[in-house]
Amino acid sequence: MRGSDNPYPSLLFEEHVDPANPAAGHHRMFVDTDKALKMVDSAGTVTVLGAAGGAVATDPIWAAAGDLAVGTGNDTAGVLTKGAAGGVLAMGNSAVIWNAGTSFPGSKATGDRYWRTDLGMEFYWDGTRWVSTTLYRETMAAPAVATPMVATGPIGRSAIWHTEYDLWIVKLYTALYPATTNDGSKYWTLDLNKKTDIDGATSIAQVSTAAYTVNLWTTAATAVGAAVVQGTYHEMDLFADRVGATGALYFAAAMTYRLIGT
């Protein structure tokens, strides 16, 4: 090919779907039916050189208001349609999604977050269940300092979210002060229970003062990791049990939990 001084040179290309491969050491340039300028070598390998004119704003990839172009692979893109109100762009099962709707997605990965438009709440997949991103805290027992526990019995109760949400109990926090006498054979235990009725209690966490120093406040955060199904259990309680001739117990306690989404 020789150069030209023509200030307005032009080339005329005919569209080809599958042009013939050129001889070894040569390349054939052509315009494909998708209006892209391409080049094919002797092995049939096609390389995109450029695309025919047209502004991004009028690209055929757009189908509706709010569409986004998202990469789906190497040199590949697809359309991500506008999401529901309240959603944000996020990773969902290793893909870019709008994470909002009235029901949870079937495909998910640990750590995925989702906004429930019908509930006005955000949840995340912990690997087993959808739980609220909000961590709730509820006081189970906080009596006046001058009112210690001196006998076995309940020291705090909490109503669960009846008919609305199951709970995922995260931790039990305690501040305990065993007075006068406390050792390995004379001590207090505190059980966090979920209850089906007035007597049907299942312990999901326990704290013991057996190793605590007498006449000293000791704080603890005890991991729980247990579900409380609202259709089965009607309340939570904290029950103190006196073991041996221990002294009085001053106390304060609270639990943290997340709501389980369905």
For 222-259, write each residue's pLDDT tens digit.
Answer: 999 999 998 899 899 999 999 999 999 999 999 999 99
Tell which wins on pLDDT, 218 or 52: 218
- In this predicted structure, what is the pLDDT of residue 209? 98
Identify whether residues 251 and 153 lie together within a single domain: yes
For residue 67 the two structure tokens come to 């569409």
Q: How confident is the model at residue 214 (pLDDT cuts 50, 70, 90)?
A: very high
**CB 120, CB 133: distance < 8 Å:** no
**CB 140, CB 238: distance < 8 Å:** yes
Q: Is the dihedral of CA 205, 235, 228, 173 positive or negative?
A: negative
Strand partners, 158: 236
Beta strands 76-80 and 89-92 are unpaired
58 within domain boundaries: no
Report the distance separating Cα 83 and Cα 191, nearest Å: 46
Strand partners, 141: 253
Identify whether residues 250 and 170 lie together within a single domain: yes
pLDDT tens for 179-200 read: 999 999 999 999 999 999 777 8
Q: How confident is the model at residue 1 (pLDDT cuts 50, 70, 90)?
A: very low
Question: How many structural domains does the chain have?
Answer: 3
Task: Look at residues 73, 102, 131 and tell me which one is the last residue of a structural domain.
Answer: 131
Cα 26 to its chain centre, rounded Å, is: 54
102 within domain boundaries: yes
Q: Is the dihedral of CA 217, 221, 222, 227 positive or negative?
A: positive
pLDDT tens for 163-180 read: 899 999 999 999 999 999
**CB 190, CB 175: distance < 8 Å:** no
pLDDT tens for 5-49 read: 667 666 776 677 778 888 888 888 888 877 778 888 888 888 887
Tell which wins on pLDDT, 95 or 22: 22
Identify whether residues 188 and 222 lie together within a single domain: yes
Identify whether residues 256 and 164 lie together within a single domain: yes
b/e per residue 172-198 (b: at least 16 CB within 10 A): bbbebbbeeebeeebbbbbbbbbbeee
- pTM confidence score: 0.72
Q: What is the mean pLDDT of the chain?
A: 86
CATH code: domain of residue 203: 2.60.120.1110
Identify whether residues 126 and 143 lie together within a single domain: no
Identify whether residues 174 and 245 lie together within a single domain: yes
**CB 48, CB 36: distance < 8 Å:** yes
Identify whether residues 38 and 70 lie together within a single domain: no
173 within domain boundaries: yes
For residue 188 the two structure tokens come to 């207090």
241 within domain boundaries: yes
Report the distance separating Cα 143 and Cα 252, nearest Å: 7
148 within domain boundaries: yes
- In this predicted structure, what is the pLDDT of residue 4? 60
159 within domain boundaries: yes
Identify whether residues 14 and 31 lie together within a single domain: yes
pLDDT tens for 50-88 read: 554 556 767 777 777 777 777 777 877 777 777 777 677
Q: Is 153 left (phi over 0), alpha (psi -120 to 50) or beta?
A: left
Task: Look at residues 87, 110, 131 and tell me which one is the last residue of a structural domain.
Answer: 131
Mean of the pLDDT values across residues 99-126? 92
Task: Look at residues 106, 131, 156 and tell me which one is the last residue of a structural domain.
Answer: 131
AA letter at 135: L
Identify whether residues 112 and 27 lie together within a single domain: no
1 within domain boundaries: yes
Identify whether residues 194 and 103 lie together within a single domain: no
Tell which wins on pLDDT, 150 or 74: 150
Q: Which residues constitute the domain of residue 82?
A: 63-131
Identify whether residues 78 and 164 lie together within a single domain: no
AA letter at 112: D
How far is the CA of 188 from the CAs of 139, 238, 248, in angstroms?
20, 13, 9
Report the distance separating Cα 151 and Cα 243, nearest Å: 10
